[in-house]
Amino acid sequence: MEVGMGVLSLAPDVFWRMTLAEFNAAVAGYMERNGSKPQGGGMTRDRLKELMKRYPDGN
């Protein structure tokens, strides 16, 4: 929310209607225009497994 409404200055209704792909594209475009590079490289399968073990759904 901080990035969407604060950094990108999206109106709340626009932010909440965006898909994750649209939001990622908006952030990537912002970063490209401002000479920034993304950090981390995204979620890996191993990282997802680690998070699932640490924070189980309780099912």
pLDDT for res 34: 85
- Neighbour count for residue 38 (Cβ, 10 Å): 11
- Is the pTM higher than 0.85? The answer reads no
Closest CA to 27 of 7, 44, 41, 11: 7
Q: Give 19-51 pLDDT, tens digit per residue.
A: 999 999 999 899 888 887 666 667 789 888 998
Residue with tokens 């073990």: 53
Q: How many whole angstroms separate alpha carbon 21 and alpha carbon 40?
A: 18
Question: What does each C-alpha distance from 52 to 3, 43, 45, 46 come to in angstroms?
Answer: 25, 12, 11, 10
